[in-house]
Structure 1
Amino acid sequence: MSRIHSFVLSGLLFCFVADAQIISGFCTVKLNGPASAEQTQTARQGARARLKTEIVKWADESLGFTFDTLNNNQNIYLDIFTDACIKLIKEEASFQGKTLMITYNLTDETANQAVQSFNQQYDNKALFSWEAANNAAREKDNINFYISAIKALSYASAHIGSPLLIQGTEDKSLEDIIRDTLRVFLDKVKVTSSNMILEGKAGRPVNNPPSITVTCDSQPLPGIGLTAMQQDGKVLFYSTTDENGQMSFGDFKIPFVANGTLIYVRHNLGKVIDENVFVTEKDLKLRLKNSWDQTFIFKLSRPFYTLEYKASSVSNITLPPDFAGDSHLKKFLQDSCSMQIAANTPADLAIFIQNQVSSYNYSETEEVGIKITAQITVKGLSLDPVRTEQETLEYEKRYDISIDIPYGLFFWEANQKLREAIKNTMNRL
């Protein structure tokens, strides 16, 4: 955990200079001495985030264009456009007392120039990729059509403002033309699973792992992006189909989840667009006849564990009984991780946790900090060879010295962080 004692105040500025609208984002960081590289970067990131928000408002008010900030595909290009705008303007840094302020000021004229350049770049990319898709279609090259068409649709949807219209097509937009053609192709794709059961024990590979097969016109589709996620949206893994159009669960290690938990394997178009982003058909406004989603259910044998838990306070803070003892963790391991205590049975996992609570006074900001440091060690005793994973959890919250500290809420939040860290440590075995 960083020990830089600073906090960030971010804001937006609207102003008019010589009747020209200024789109402005700024961020201030409190300093205890000379600004460090990390503090300067924090201020830059804050100013960029506020400028991005302001650009969204400007586009809506000045261009009548709405950025859908909940759309993963559109967010890719909003980030790219924001960075393109920042490259066109000068970063302003100023110091006032013990604060550093970073400001980005973007004029309406510069923003419009950025839009024109951005649209030209991505319209050209869309047209080039769409031509490649049509060439692949003529050659009946399904996989290259799939890749080029998805790229073309993603690029075309990046256009800011009125869509690019194609002459001779009853004034249909390039985006709609690509989407309609791609939808027909994707509706011909078949996605099947050999079975839906993921059987075994948490921390181990799946027994008799099932596989998913993706085909089009009875031909395998290699390189198709697939993403497995839990019901709560947590991603378990990213994968792609092999040369046979298949993805197997053979290398998948069962996470520590409750028996009967469902997971979903979904089509990830982000594999073609941006490997770091999960992009769905909905993000590209593709409405298919049949969903590609494949559902699987865990059928698990409950692993056995031992637990050694110690909690102490090195301040005048009294630990609540639930946090001082291990009963809350045993309930978590049983209910949420589908595990059972090893009584007269050899343990699969040995878990060791040392918890320490401390407090700090921050006179420069008139705050009190409450901090929990937990050392977590998990040994996979039934693994061959035996493996050990460790993690250090540091969780701190600061409170104004003038208020009563809500210890109950703090320990509840700390307990949630501890549970998450334990599960992450076990899943790394």
Structure 2
Amino acid sequence: MSMPITASTSTDVARENAVFRKVVRRIVPFLVLCYVVSYLDRVNVGFAKLQMSDDLGFSEAAYGLGAGLFFIGYFLFEVPSNLMLQRVGARTWIARIMISWGLVSGAFMFVHNEAMFYVLRFLLGAAEAGFYPGVILYCTYWFPSHRRARVIALFMSAIPVAGIFGNPLSGWIMDRFQGVNGWQGWQWMFLLEAIPALLIGVATLFYLDNSVRAAKWLTDEEKAVVERAIAEDAAHQTVHGRVWDAFREPKVWLMCLIYFCFVMGQYALTFWMPTFIESTGIEGNLAIGMLSAVPFLAALVTMNLFGRSADKRRERRWHLVVPSLMGAVGFSLAAGWAGSTALSLAALSFAAAGVLTCAPLFWSLPTAFLGGTAAAVGLAAINSVGNLAGFVSPYMIGALKDATGSTSLPRYVLALSLVIGAAAVLTTDKYVVNR
């Protein structure tokens, strides 16, 4: 086997770049596909609401509670799931996650009351727990920190991609299949959109590799290049070791706060975007779906531009602060322009571009100082605590909408959350995170 290569010359640097481009081409598109399916199954309830709430007599608060209960199951099972991924390997565990969430997602077609809705949302969160932080952990096996922001931004492009294609698809299914076989359009949507998770879950067993050393598509020399880069990066990590080490680290709890603030905005968009668009006077599921895709298209472009810039400049903090403040401005303007479809859509696009850019850049912060078992636990803990905002955000919006008859006040609350997140980012140590 070839000796490790030291990237000390321009030729070695070019060689290393070529190897990592090969790794990106092999791994990232498949992970993006998995996350598109994951995100669609997680948030298509936002589209189902347009019909399901009337059919089943759900209040706005009941819908918000059910949407948010996903994150309670997610919170409870996140850390154990990530530890299992580390123990049995990414290939087997990610496949298990996808197959189980596909089965639960399809079962939503049988919902007939609030209690069943709540139970299935909780079970969907439990089934999907570990997927997102598991992929972030998996990326640390393949990419050093200075290459990770762009990779995670590419991976998280799945969120706007799911919105761009998933929203029109969901609207079309609900209109096209309404009444077929005696079922409602929302029932068909849950059934048809669950099938890809099952198929891709099986494909995962044959496609993913658990480690660099197990990758038959890399030569021994290429494996050495990747392993050297990962080893050099690990030397800078400050938190390793046992399970509880991550929970005793103050920086982990700061990361939880920052991520919570960002997720508040993220799930407000994904669960309530169709309702925000409908409230401007738009009718028809397909029309709502097409317009709902516009903010996600803006986010897709912005998040990848910021990801490239952050890696190129090796700067994380201001690349997070700027988009979080963009999100705050966007939500504030959307609250004031709620009566105009064009202006509201422009404001929501600005908000989406900011909010959805925050998440991929955020993960460069904790992965810069977490390593070993502490990384598996710490990343899962940050994701699970942060994603409790996925419970708070939709329920808060639903409750305030029931109380005020408007979505303006909730959008100001979301703007405030993003400002707090930006302020918390500025308290981080720039010498640790800007590597």
Q: Is the TM value for this pair above 0.5?
A: no
Normalized per residue, the structure richer in strand is 1
Higher helix content, 1 or 2: 2
TM-score, normalised by the number of residues in structure 2? 0.23
Q: Which structure is higher in RCO with an 8 Å CA cutoff and minimum separation 6?
A: 2
- TM-score, reference length from structure 1: 0.23
Q: Which has the larger radius of gyration?
A: 1
